[in-house]
Amino acid sequence: MIRGRAIKLGDDVSTDHIISGKYKFEFIDDMSKMIPHVLEDVIPEFYKKVSKGDIIVAGRNFGKGSSREHAPRLLKMVGIGAVVAKSFGFIFYRNSVNIGLPVVKAKVVPDTAESGDVIEVDLARGIVRDVTKGVEEKVPPYPPEFLEVVSEGGIVEYIKKRGGLPWSIR
């Protein structure tokens, strides 16, 4: 169960909104130097306003654009516990799962939630709940392999700990 405060964003938040491509090579030696620039054009000084476990609630096409793995990794680094959106850019979605950032497609909660609402995400049961508004939505649950990867902190950590991918070591 993931529980956190909602940070409401709109439609079409691209990977360039999450972290501008201009920082990709400037801080290649240390990704933590990019943290002050996360979502800076959407919410100035976002990194100072986010708390560990906060949940981004967004509209359609979250993470559209380039295939930079930096975007979901930096969201995780600033403390985002999950992203709930109406839809995702495909590569952002896969990169998020690969690095252990839970992402969930939902239809109702992104419309009803407001910044500051308490949101709960149950990946195993497939439930997204806006506790503040009393809105609950059933979503597809994460497959057991995805749950394992997320719980280990991503694919790399999973392989380090278990010696292979979940679908190849059974």
Mean pLDDT score, 10-25: 87
Residue 114 tokens, joined: 């407001």
CA distance 100 to 43: 24
Q: Under a CB-based contact definition with an 8 Å cutoff, are residues 29 and 79 in contact?
A: no
Res 136 pLDDT > 60: yes
CA distances to 16, 43, 98 from 22, in Å? 9, 18, 24
pLDDT digits (tens, 9 = 90+) for 19-72: 987 776 666 677 888 899 999 999 999 999 999 999 999 999 999 987 778 899
Q: Under a CB-based contact definition with an 8 Å cutoff, are residues 27 and 33 in contact?
A: yes
Confidence band for 170, pLDDT divided at 50, 70 and 90: low
CA distance 144 to 25: 36
Q: What pLDDT is stored for residue 27 in this prediction? A: 66
Helices and strands, number each (H, E), in the chain: 7, 7
CA atoms within 13 A on the CB side of 82: 25
Mean pLDDT score, 150-160: 91
User: Amino acid letter at 81?
Assistant: G
Whether the CA torsion 16, 46, 89, 82 is positive or negative: it is: positive
Which value, in Å, is the radius of gyration of the alpha carbons in the chain?
15
Q: State pTM to two decimals.
A: 0.93
Q: What pLDDT is stored for residue 169 in this prediction? A: 60
What is the pairing mode between strands 127-130 and 135-138? antiparallel
Q: What pLDDT is stored for residue 35 in this prediction? A: 92
User: Amino acid letter at 168?
Assistant: S
Mean pLDDT score, 121-146: 96
Residue 123 tokens, joined: 């990946």
Confidence band for 163, pLDDT divided at 50, 70 and 90: confident
Res 164 pLDDT > 90: no
pLDDT digits (tens, 9 = 90+) for 76-119: 999 999 999 999 999 999 999 899 999 999 999 999 999 999 99
Q: What pLDDT is stored for residue 15 in this prediction? A: 93
